[in-house]
Amino acid sequence: MKVKKRVSTKAPTKTTKKKDSRRYDDGVKLPKGVKNITELRKRPGMSNAGTYKNVPSKDFAGPNKTYPINTKARAKSALRLAHNAANPAAIKAKVYKKYPDLKKKK
């Protein structure tokens, strides 16, 4: 018994996409007026793209100086975003150790 191959009746299309130069590694689009990620990191207020120079190393809940917890507002933010981390329980534990009043009461 011979099996027939399906033959497409559609003409082949060319799918060459021009690389968007306004995108970086993870595909996130850069804001207007920013040429590259290095320039973005130098902008004030772009702490999620760069480093925290004025925060001591002990005031981070995550690895590699991520999830700063030097203020209560940042600690709350770290709790909200902990689900994105590889080890969310460790981040929550460090936040609750520094700010026990943030722990939900049962």
Residue 92 confidence (pLDDT) above 80: yes
What is the DSSP-derived secondary structure letter of residue 9?
Answer: -
Residue 24 pLDDT grade (very low, low, confident, very high; cuts 50, 70, 90): very low
Of residues 80 and 35, more confidence is placed in 80
Q: What is the mean pLDDT of the chain?
A: 75
Give the integer Cα–Cα distance in Å for 23 and 26.
Answer: 8
Of residues 59 and 64, more confidence is placed in 59
Looking at residues 35-57, what average pLDDT do you find? 64
Residue 27 confidence (pLDDT) above 70: no
pLDDT value at residue 14: 56
Residue 76 confidence (pLDDT) above 90: yes
Q: What is the DSSP string of 21-54?
A: TTB-TT-PBPPTT--SHHHHHHSTT-GGGS--TT
Q: Which residues contact 37 (CB under 8 A, 6 or more apart)?
A: 24, 25, 30, 49
* pLDDT winner (highest mean) among 18-27, 38-47, 97-106: 97-106
What are the CB-based long-range contacts (under 8 Å, 24+) for 64-71? Answer: 67/91, 69/94, 69/95, 69/98, 69/99
